[in-house]
Amino acid sequence: MDVSLVLIVVMAVLFACGVYAMLERSLTRVLIGFLLLGNATNLLLLIVMGQPGVAPFFGAAATSEEMSDPLPQALTLTAIVITFGISAFLLALIYRSWQLGQADTVEDDAEDIALRARGGVAEDAMDDETELVSDDTTTDFVGTDTAPITLLGSRDFAGIRDDAPTDRPTARREEPPRRIRPPEDGSES
């Protein structure tokens, strides 16, 4: 397999520029970076394809070695469709961002700044607060006052039966086999 070194270098440069552009805060640069990554992926699949050959149709070539591999072609078409779809989504996102804020840059909000300012000490303090009292507790909520689900019983509502069946497995009773008797009047139904 003789692959041109120029294709490999161009593919590597496209990948590097695409990743660099996607790390920016501007949504337009993220879109350009994604398009560069899509084109680099198409070049990668072109390089992987190998030697060109006859179209892979029945009877087009005498042997299978003369045919080109159809898998990289199908993957390239799939990569083109995925790049087109995500590019359309990013364009809509950029357009909506421009309509709302007259800018396409992603800014930090107050929550992000507060999270960044909070250090490791605050994280450890939060971990200490959420430690469970016992190991057999199956909920993340320590007290029943803070639990989002309230268990209701017959004391809360008269229509609730406390003796209703549950999902817990119970011991299975052995029932005697039932006999089916024919009707006494002699009819079949």
Tokens of 156: 């809360």
Q: Is the pLDDT of residue 67 over 70?
A: yes
Q: Report yes or no on whether pTM surpasses 0.75.
A: no
Express each pLDDT in 74-126 by its tens digit. 899 999 999 999 999 999 988 888 888 787 777 777 887 777 777 666 666 66
Question: What mean pLDDT is reported for the chain?
Answer: 77
Q: How confident is the model at residue 49 (pLDDT cuts 50, 70, 90)?
A: confident
**DSSP annotation string for 86-122:** HHHHHHHHHHHHHHHHS--BPPP-HHHHHHHHS-HHH
Express each pLDDT in 4-27 by its tens digit. 888 899 999 999 999 999 998 888
Express each pLDDT in 137-171 by its tens digit. 555 555 555 556 666 666 677 766 666 666 666 66
Place of tokens 């800018």: 103
pLDDT at position 112 is 76
Q: Using alpha carbons only, what angle is made at residue 154 by residues 152 and 160, rounded to the nearest 5 degrees?
A: 80
Q: How confident is the model at residue 172 (pLDDT cuts 50, 70, 90)?
A: low
C-alpha separations of 117 from 39, 41, 125, 127, 177 in Å:
39, 38, 15, 18, 72
Q: How confident is the model at residue 42 (pLDDT cuts 50, 70, 90)?
A: very high
36 neighbors 11 (Cβ within 8 angstroms):
no
Exposure string (b/e) for 170-188, b if CB count within 10 Å is 16 or more? Answer: eeeeeeeeeeeeeeeeeee
pLDDT at position 162 is 66
Q: Is the pLDDT of residue 133 over 70?
A: no
| C-alpha span between 11 and 16 (Å, rounded) | 9
> Helices 27-49 and 70-101 meet at what angle, rounded to 10?
180
**SS3 label, residue 43:** helix
